[in-house]
Amino acid sequence: MFRKRVALVVVAGMLGPVGCTSEEGTGVAEPTDAVVTASTTASPSASPSSSPSASPSPTPSASPSPTPVPVTGPNQVLVTMVVTGGFAGVHKEVTVRGDRTVHAGGKGERSVHRADAAEFTEVRTLLGDPALDDVSDFTKNMQAADLFQYTLRFDGRTVITDRSVEEPALDRLIDALSEWLPER
């Protein structure tokens, strides 16, 4: 699957600083509960010269069902998730490889074990969910403190979230991978 990457530019000058509003006439900006999201995936047919009058392609009535991502070799890294933050300063990570090994670690603790066939197929199916294509690359509540930050690397992308925005496909993947994280 090929995707073009384009930069999303937001003109903040019209709105004021991110996460702030101003009462009319006061000139004083007050913080809000802002959540910043950005997506850099564009369809391959999108181009700067596209006609604004072109009609959008119809959306299918039912979303395609997830298909497990293929495994190309035992050293293939299917997905890596790093969890950081929180009040205690957590740093945990998990990596799933093509040979079904799961490498997990945190606070000096390291483990490697082999996922059973059902767990491995579940993760591959979650990674193959077409809904992941619509997930923003960056979703973070800029006003919240001490939330965990999840950085996932899969399919040539990096997705960063604090789970402040509901993304069902991503949430299912994070939940499945979290099962392998160390307890401490």
Between CA 69 and CA 124 the distance in angstroms is 5
The token pair at 57 is 């392609």
Length of the chain equals 184
In a domain, 149, yes or no: yes
Same domain? For 33 and 93 the reply is no
Q: Which pTM value belongs to this model?
A: 0.67
Range in 40-49, 58-67, 86-95 with the lowest mean pLDDT: 40-49
Same domain? For 111 and 154 the reply is yes
| pLDDT digit string, tens, across residues 125-134 | 999 999 999 9
Between CA 125 and CA 120 the distance in angstroms is 9
In a domain, 56, yes or no: no
In a domain, 125, yes or no: yes
| pLDDT digit string, tens, across residues 136-178 | 999 999 888 789 999 999 999 999 999 999 999 999 999 999 9
pLDDT at 91 over 90: yes
Same domain? For 35 and 120 the reply is no
Mean pLDDT of 80-86: 94
Torsions phi, psi of 131, nearest 5? -65, -20
**Total number of domains in the chain:** 2
Same domain? For 12 and 91 the reply is no
Q: Torsion angle of alpha carbons 94, 97, 99, 102, nearest 10°? A: 0
pLDDT at 82 over 50: yes
Residue 6: DSSP 8-state = -
- Which CATH number does the domain housing residue 109 bear? 3.30.1560.10
The token pair at 6 is 């384009």
Question: Which has the higher per-residue pLDDT, 2 or 34?
Answer: 34
Mean pLDDT of 99-115: 95
Q: Are 36 and 140 a contacting pair, CB within 8 Å?
A: yes
